[in-house]
Amino acid sequence: MKLDAKSTIETGKAILGIELGSTRIKAVLIDEANKPIAQGSHTWENQLVDGLWTYSIEDIWSGLQDCYADLRSNVKKLYGIEIEALAAIGISAMMHGYMPFDEKAEILVPFRTWRNTHTGKAAAALSELFVYNIPLRWSISHLYQAILDEEAHVKDIDFLTTLAGYVHWQLTGEKVLGVGDASGMLPIDSTTNNYSAEMVAKFDKLIAPKGYSWKLEDILPKVLPAGEKAGVLTSEGSKKLDASGHLEAGIPVCPPEGDAGTGMVATNAVKQRTGNVSAGTSSFSMIVLEKELSKPCEMIDMVTTPDGSPVAMVHCNNCTSDLNEWVNLFKEYQELLGIPVDMDQIYNKLYNIALTGDADCGGLLSYNYVSGEPVTGFADGRSLFVRSANDKFNLANFMRTHLYASVGVLKIGNDVLFNEEKIKVDRITAHGGLFRTKGVGQRILAAALNSPISVMETAGEGGAWGIALLGSYLVNNEKKQSLADFLDEKVFVGDAGMEVSPTPEEVAGFDTYIESYKAGLPIEEAAVKFK
């Protein structure tokens, strides 16, 4: 018998997914049919401290507690009841970065997020050593950079993990990580679903002269694929999450995952020849491969799905932040005129006027580099809007160029995949804030990638829903199905979303724009130096 939402919560059959994103911590409660029935959120921002982007441990826990409290309030408002028991919990967070702890479980340096790009020397050295592209933001790059910089704390490392791994550890006592998130710490061997033994051995040999008491695998989390048991919520963990004390201990918790993995799940893109694009504060595309790439490529990161399949990832540090600032400028102007502000209306009007602009943006250029952009070779960034006297400078082209810029770097990376590696993909699904205004970001992305793009109604639920689905896969997979089959048959049931295909004119226009964009990169380089 199918339970209604209230009964599902009352009988402890609901599943909780929490994702710690760059600007928001979000919680989603789902029912036995994997549909969202309640949600909560908390807004936060990273801080630039001593030249490094970070979130404090205090902010992590106050944010989680506030997010969960907001979920409790939503449940009380909708159903008039308290959350006391759950069928499962899943924790997800932004991937990569650096969280080293000593044997007393105390963090040795402030959390260094994926956004930091000071690891260039380490990433280059490791890429050469491993014959494998090691990005700046990966945990192994952060670790080796700390070694190269002779940071005193390195000798005291007892455990190194990601944000999702840290929160999971504190809630369950288990030092584990989902394979997708682990693949952003150190390359994974898809034949073993574990860290590459060859690369671990090379790294240990590389740092042996330092004489540290630890070996690499001693300090890394244990790798688990989706569906594996990853511990239960402890009584201490329950108090850390639910400050009210209502939530019972003993709830199964699925392997913690990164936001890339939960994005794949939330868009039903874990099968080979499927892909997804997540576009918000940062953007990334994930294409599930039939085989490994022919050679390492600095623009393309190799990670895995939550069940271990190889994935080509193009990750861009910048996406909508600069665009949002321009939209806020129009909001301020509207306030100056004394007109009531509706942000959804402002976005809707400005995004849709962009679709009436010239396909090549009339010659206008925008560089949305709030921070560094490794794909195009920038350790630091500076936002720029560039035009010449003869360009067609109007509102439509102005907004269109900022929308193009939000996915411009993503296009540069994917052009390598599709044009040079000849990768084939049957379906690309998009999700994230860029697609909130219906049909606009979707059409821009379709032109950029020269591919049909689908957006599902559920895509707005995002990674918190994705990790909740992985919690469901842990406890509701009675048939022992693969993750892809479970998603097809129990979650999406043939829902491929609304598809938009680009016109030849749109593709040609974006191609013209991106050639000008690449030719203008020295302008960005000069601006960064000037700063």
Whether residue 371 is found in the same domain as residue 495? no
| 204/88 Cα distance (integer angstroms) | 37
Whether residue 508 is found in the same domain as residue 378? yes
Query: Does position 395 have pLDDT exceeding 80, yes or no?
Result: yes
Q: Is residue 313 within 8 Å of residue 297, measured between CB atoms?
A: no
Whether residue 353 is found in the same domain as residue 376? yes
On whether residue 5 sits in a domain, the answer given is no
pLDDT digits (tens, 9 = 90+) for 426-469: 889 998 889 989 999 999 999 999 999 998 876 556 789 999 99
Q: Which domain holds residue 484?
A: 267-317+413-500
On whether residue 425 sits in a domain, the answer given is yes
Whether residue 394 is found in the same domain as residue 333? yes
On whether residue 511 sits in a domain, the answer given is yes
Residue type, 75: V
**CATH number of the structural domain spanning residue 473:** 3.30.420.40
Whether residue 374 is found in the same domain as residue 390? yes
Whether residue 272 is found in the same domain as residue 345? no
pLDDT digits (tens, 9 = 90+) for 277-295: 988 888 989 999 988 888 8
The sign one gets for the Cα dihedral 393, 396, 402, 406 is negative
On whether residue 342 sits in a domain, the answer given is yes
pLDDT digits (tens, 9 = 90+) for 107-132: 999 999 998 989 999 999 999 999 99
Confidence of residue 57 (pLDDT cuts 50, 70, 90): very high
Calculate what percentage of the chain has a pLDDT beyond 70.
Answer: 98
> Secondary structure of 256-291 in the HEC alphabet?
CEEHHHHHHHHCCCCCCCEEEEEECCCEEEEEECCC
Q: Is residue 199 within 8 Å of residue 187, measured between CB atoms?
A: yes
Whether residue 519 is found in the same domain as residue 480? no
Whether residue 309 is found in the same domain as residue 336? no
With vertex at residue 524, the alpha carbon angle to CA 520 and CA 525, rounded to the nearest 5 degrees, is 110
Task: Please give the tally of structural domains in the chain.
Answer: 2
Exposure string of 415-448, with b = 16+ CB inside 10 Å and e = fewer, is bbbbeebebebebbbbbbbbbbbeebbbbbbbbb
On whether residue 250 sits in a domain, the answer given is no
The sign one gets for the Cα dihedral 148, 186, 320, 63 is negative
Whether residue 331 is found in the same domain as residue 273? no
- Secondary structure (DSSP) of 295-332: S--TT-EEEE-TT--EEEEEEES-SSHHHHHHHHHHHH
- Secondary structure (DSSP) of 211-227: --S--HHHHSPEEE-TT
Whether residue 444 is found in the same domain as residue 489? yes
On whether residue 256 sits in a domain, the answer given is no
Calculate what percentage of the chain has a pLDDT beyond 90.
Answer: 85
| 110/101 Cα distance (integer angstroms) | 10
On whether residue 370 sits in a domain, the answer given is yes
Whether residue 382 is found in the same domain as residue 522? yes
On whether residue 142 sits in a domain, the answer given is no
Provide the terminal-to-terminal Cα distance of the chain, rounded to the nearest Å. Answer: 64
Whether residue 292 is found in the same domain as residue 437? yes
Question: How deeply is 51 buried, as exposed, middle or buried, from its count of CB atoms within 10 A (0-12, 13-18, 19+)?
Answer: exposed
pLDDT digits (tens, 9 = 90+) for 80-105: 999 999 999 999 999 999 999 999 99
Residues 6 or more apart whose CB falls under 8 angstroms from that of 349 comprise none
Helices (H), 135-222: 139-148, 163-172, 179-182, 197-207, 216-219
Query: Does position 297 have pLDDT exceeding 90, yes or no?
Result: no
